[in-house]
Structure 1
Amino acid sequence: MTGDSGGWAGMGWDWTDAEGIRRRLDAGADPERWPGGRPLHRAALYGSPEVVAELAARVADVDALENGVTALWEAVMSRRPENARVLAAAGADPWRESIGGWSPGRLSLAGPTPDLFPAPEGIRLTGAERAAAEEARRLTAALGVFPVDGTGLACVAGIDAEEAVRRLDGRPVDDDFVDELREDPYAYDMDETLRIVGVTSVPGGCVVTQPWGYAPQMPGVLTRLSAGTVCYGLYANPKSGNQGGIARDGRMEGGDLHPGGGPDVHDSPSEVLASYLYRHDPVAYSCARTGLRPTDRRAVVGPADVWIELPRAGLRSR
């Protein structure tokens, strides 16, 4: 008896124990159903190649869909090349088109394993797609890896720090106070610290940053900054994950976005590519969405070109 769990009771996100998985399957666990989704999709994301091979040999269709994508798509999108190779060897189709018209195979041409699958004649990246992939490699290397939990950002195209300060009606803040604040921002009243942001010019525009809070992503900030241009906001919420919002020409265009996460089924081809190139890198993704080209992480972590105090009213919504 497998019960409502399909024989997978107690399974979480670790699908690496090939012997344990095999015992469950031999005892009647359903290779097609797990309470959290399809077992093969979970293994493609979080499992070992051995587990992927075991499940792929037992499912009716190795290219079955979950949320509109195959297990092979999940393996490619999550940068699990060994799992992807096992799925392809089991009969999964690398060239089956999916979200945004991309296939897993063509998407892999833009990533770190462009030789993952032998490409059929005529399957290649466009010039614009190659340029996006090259910029992603440059941008992620320039920013590097650093903790972002609790950080708020607004990436603004086409204006410099001086213009951003003007649009926000910001008042310069004493550098000594900012130095103390950055040492321990939580020693101060949040109503006070939430109004302090840094602004830095970068190639392509500017970045408004707050390493300790969400103020740069507030709708009133984004809409003011986006007049005549586009602005992408990020708050790396330590409790609920990365939250994004986009404003264009003074109006909010999208909210509840997930920078650095996987693509949505309705995303455009360029949005799908960006989700792949900047998977789990919300800061680089936010910069790329507005065409910013920082050469290091200073615009994010400081010291900023200028630190300012935002006005007390009118920035939370608009």
Structure 2
Amino acid sequence: MVADDRTGWSGMDRDSWTNLSVVRSRLDAGADPNSGVYFHERPLHAAAERGSAEVVTELSRRVDDVDAEQEGRTALWEAVFNNRPDNARSLVAAGADPWRPMMNGWSPGRLSLATPTPDLFPLPAGETGLSDAEAAAVADARHLIDVLGEPEDDGFSLACVAGVGAAEAARRLEAVPADDADVEELMEDPFADFDNSLAIIGVTDVPGGCVVFQPEGYNASTPGVMKRLSAGSVCYGMFANPKSGNQGAVCRDGAMEDWDTHPGGGSVSDDEPAEEILATYLYHHRAVAYCFAGAGLRPADARSLTFRPDMWLRLPERDWWS
């Protein structure tokens, strides 16, 4: 174990980046303002993402370049992406450029147009605002997030299917109506007979398709379920793993297109499609809404994510991982 001698950036937790006296003492003791945070993160990027405006201002005075990039983005981009408008203003006051090209067309300034503070920076002449499609994506995201919220508990799984109704989903899965007694047991204690609970899923029609939901268990997002559901369509699934976080998957026309993704995560690279960079921002920490949006579902409420689906079904005995 490496000792924390308080002369570098070791031992800095999330809250430390909001404490000006802690950061200033590290700097005065010789910590490099340009590098040295965990996994080679730049201190200014760390502060922009999760720190205070006062810390951002202090670091901005000491770095060699306030617009230095890390993995294709500046500290200002991190402030905007993480909805830290005060940090963004501090960086601009220190000379950061909101309209510096980066991230496949999403400069900090252009990305800010999709945030709750779209007037954060004045739009210069010649700069491109949001397209009609991008503005619609922003509006759709806000609607979905407002309608769905985020389930309080982990352990559930879901599959959002485009253009497929609940009755057709039951047919594709060769599922039959579940016994009332099994559903009641699932609702009272899903772990009383977990193997039995894993065979029971809820299916609900929503505008644009349907949602397969399992309140406790992973079966709704298994490859076998998603491959059958996605024939001639697309299916976005996820398992809210209590141990390792959200595990996502995308299946298109019966073939797994992406696996072990992290819907709602904040990881994005500059070589990703521009629309995916926007979606990653819009659904940051909103994994369920991300899945609904990917399948083009437009629910009026969150009933599909509760114990009140249109129908309870029992899956046949099968290896659903294949």
Quote the Cα distance in structure 1 between the aligned partners of 2:109 and 2:189.
47
Partner residue, 2:25: 23
Q: Following superposition, which runs of at least 4 residues in structure 1 exceed 3 angstroms of deviation?
A: 2-6
Please give the per-residue CA displacement for 1:174-220, whole angstroms capped at 9, x wherever unaligned: 234313312221222x2221121111010000011112111111111
Partner residue, 1:58: 62
**1:243 and 2:254 aligned:** no
**1:34 and 2:39 aligned:** no
Partner residue, 1:178: 183
Partner residue, 2:11: 10
* 1:1-318 aligned within 5 A: 7-14=8-15, 15-36=17-38, 37-122=41-126, 123-188=128-193, 190-265=194-269, 266-317=271-322
Identity level (%): 58
Q: What residue identity is the alignment partner of 1:129?
A: E
Q: What residue identity is the alignment partner of 1:107?
A: L
Q: What residue identity is the alignment partner of 1:75?
A: A
Contact 2:7/2:26, CA 8 A, preserved across alignment: no
Q: Any stretches of 5+ residues in structure 1 without a counterpart? A: none
Q: Any stretches of 5+ residues in structure 2 without a counterpart? A: none
Q: What residue identity is the alignment partner of 1:239?
A: K
Range with greater deviation from structure 2 (200-209 or 259-268): 259-268
> Given the superposition, is the C-alpha separation of residues 4 and 62 from structure 1 closer, same or farther in structure 2, using an over 3 Å criterion?
farther
User: Scaled by the length of structure 2, what TM-score is found?
Assistant: 0.93
How far residue 77 of structure 1 moved from its aligned partner, in angstroms, is: 1.1
Q: Number of matched residues?
A: 315
Quote the Cα distance in structure 2 between the aligned partners of 1:5 and 1:307.
57
Task: For residue 82 of structure 1, give the secondary structure of its aligned residue in structure 2.
Answer: helix
Please give the per-residue CA displacement for 1:23-47, whole angstroms capped at 9, x wherever unaligned: 1101111111224121111111111
Quote the Cα distance in structure 2 between the aligned partners of 1:162 and 1:311.
16
User: Scaled by the length of structure 1, what TM-score is found?
Assistant: 0.94
Range with greater deviation from structure 2 (8-17 or 223-232): 8-17
Quote the Cα distance in structure 2 between the aligned partners of 1:293 and 1:47.
35
How far residue 145 of structure 1 moved from its aligned partner, in angstroms, is: 4.0
How far residue 263 of structure 1 moved from its aligned partner, in angstroms, is: 4.4
Contact 1:198/1:307, CA 8 A, preserved across alignment: yes
Quote the Cα distance in structure 2 between the aligned partners of 1:144 and 1:81.
23
How far residue 99 of structure 1 moved from its aligned partner, in angstroms, is: 2.2
What is the root-mean-square deviation of aligned Cα atoms in Å?
Answer: 1.8
How far residue 148 of structure 1 moved from its aligned partner, in angstroms, is: 4.3
> Given the superposition, is the C-alpha separation of residues 228 and 6 from structure 1 closer, same or farther in structure 2, using an over 3 Å criterion?
farther
Contact 1:142/1:296, CA 8 A, preserved across alignment: yes
Quote the Cα distance in structure 2 between the aligned partners of 1:64 and 1:3.
27
Contact 1:263/1:271, CA 8 A, preserved across alignment: no
Quote the Cα distance in structure 2 between the aligned partners of 1:33 and 1:50.
19
Range with greater deviation from structure 2 (72-81 or 174-183): 174-183
Contact 1:6/1:35, CA 8 A, preserved across alignment: no
